[in-house]
Amino acid sequence: MDKIEYRAVIKFLTKEGRTPSEIKQRLDAVYGQSSPSYSTVKEWAKQFRLGRQSIEDEPRPGRPSEAITDENIQFVEEKVLEDRRLKTKELAAMTGLSKTTALRILHEHLGMNKVSARWVPKLLSAIQKQERVKCCTQFLSLCEGRQKEVLDSIVTGDETMVLYYDPLSKRESMEWCRPSSPRPKKAKVSQSQKKIMATIFWDSQGILLADFKERNTTITGEYYASLLHQLRDAIKEKRRGKLSRGVLLLHDNAPVHTAGVSKTAIKECGFTELDHPPYSPDLAPSDYYLFSKLKSDLRGKRFNTDEEVKSAVLAHFEDKTADYFFKGIEMLVKRCEKCIQIKGDYIEKL
């Protein structure tokens, strides 16, 4: 709400004979945390009792309004483009303007806001972006005219670490409160050092294979190759006719996935690999959909043994319908379209 409107309310209630404390309570009841502070209410109520009529700010002595000139706007823009991390006080010192004037130029005249950097898996090179566009284009061409058939033939999978305890984030800990309620408190808690690795393969109908690796061991090419053979057996058992129709295997370019023994196992199983660009978790259904939802569900829960973790992971998927899994696979189409649209850069939001 604009400060001028707040002052109008304060003026009206002051003329009604309300005290600053009563006015503050009324403002809090209607506007909650966005209402002005008690000191602000008290100061404006005092001025209105003394006969002030205007709710506008008084003209400030000193620096004239001509400080915002085309030359100053251009100068501020040049300085910010030279160093985008400049602080407002540094910019004001360089330009000779006040901090308020510098901020007005930035926000109102240049349309600029200071934002935090977004974490990405890797700063992609031009060639890597081209490779992402190429893979997305190939996939969309494959789907053309037979999208449902292609999506149903995809089997995708990946590895992920599941923690014994992953605390809720600050955003996830938010609670609904009344303006008068005390603000919730949350102690800082660290992630558990104990974890196990889960390898999960799934398709548009559900989970095909879930395997858990013992702690303090690593996945090798031989181990992954054995999982692929287990995956073939699981498909044969759970998806009658899927092998004969053809399986499109979608996994990333992790070393164990590209090892010679793994490539041999893929051929022996009769799978066809879909091209997946390097450093592209935003184009991997397990990363952008399945694992993110799994970990969100487990976050805040504490486990004591490997068996408890395994049971929790499997329980997460028990009540999920085929529509749930198909949605995750189907999202790949829109993500590929978006990737092409933004010329191979990472997809932030859809």
Instruction: Tell whether 101 and 220 lie within a shared domain.
Output: no
Instruction: Tell whether 163 and 224 lie within a shared domain.
Output: yes
Instruction: Let me know: does 258 contact 224? Beta carbons within 8 Å.
Output: no
Q: Show the domain range for 45.
A: 3-49
Instruction: Tell whether 141 and 73 lie within a shared domain.
Output: no
Residues 6+ apart with CB under 8 A from 263: none
Q: What is the pLDDT of residues 156-181, one digit of tens each?
A: 999 999 999 888 877 777 778 877 77
Instruction: Tell whether 71 and 103 lie within a shared domain.
Output: yes
pLDDT tens digits in sequence order for the chain, 350 residues long: 578 888 888 999 999 999 999 998 888 888 888 888 888 899 999 989 888 888 887 765 554 456 788 888 888 999 889 888 888 888 888 888 888 888 989 988 888 888 887 788 889 999 999 999 999 999 999 999 999 999 999 999 999 999 998 888 777 777 788 777 787 777 777 788 889 999 999 999 999 999 998 777 788 999 999 999 999 999 999 999 999 999 999 999 999 999 999 999 999 999 999 999 999 999 999 999 999 999 999 999 999 999 999 999 999 999 999 999 999 999 999 999 999 999 999 998 76
In a domain, 54, yes or no: no
Instruction: Tell whether 74 and 212 lie within a shared domain.
Output: no
Instruction: Tell whether 103 and 193 lie within a shared domain.
Output: no
Instruction: Tell whether 153 and 297 lie within a shared domain.
Output: yes
Q: Compute CA 343 distance to the chain's CA centroid, rounded to the nearest angstrom.
A: 20
- 140: CATH: 3.30.420.10
State the Cα angle at 47 between 41 and 49, rounded to 5°: 100
In a domain, 182, yes or no: no
Whether this model's pTM surpasses 0.85: no
pLDDT of residue 62: 52
Instruction: Tell whether 249 and 291 lie within a shared domain.
Output: yes
Instruction: Tell whether 131 and 212 lie within a shared domain.
Output: yes
In a domain, 149, yes or no: yes
- 39: CATH: 1.10.10
In a domain, 56, yes or no: no
Instruction: Tell whether 14 and 158 lie within a shared domain.
Output: no
In a domain, 55, yes or no: no
Q: State the total domains in the chain.
A: 3
Instruction: Let me know: does 228 contact 179? Beta carbons within 8 Å.
Output: no
In a domain, 116, yes or no: no
Instruction: Tell whether 80 and 132 lie within a shared domain.
Output: no
Instruction: Tell whether 152 and 23 lie within a shared domain.
Output: no
In a domain, 176, yes or no: no
In a domain, 136, yes or no: yes
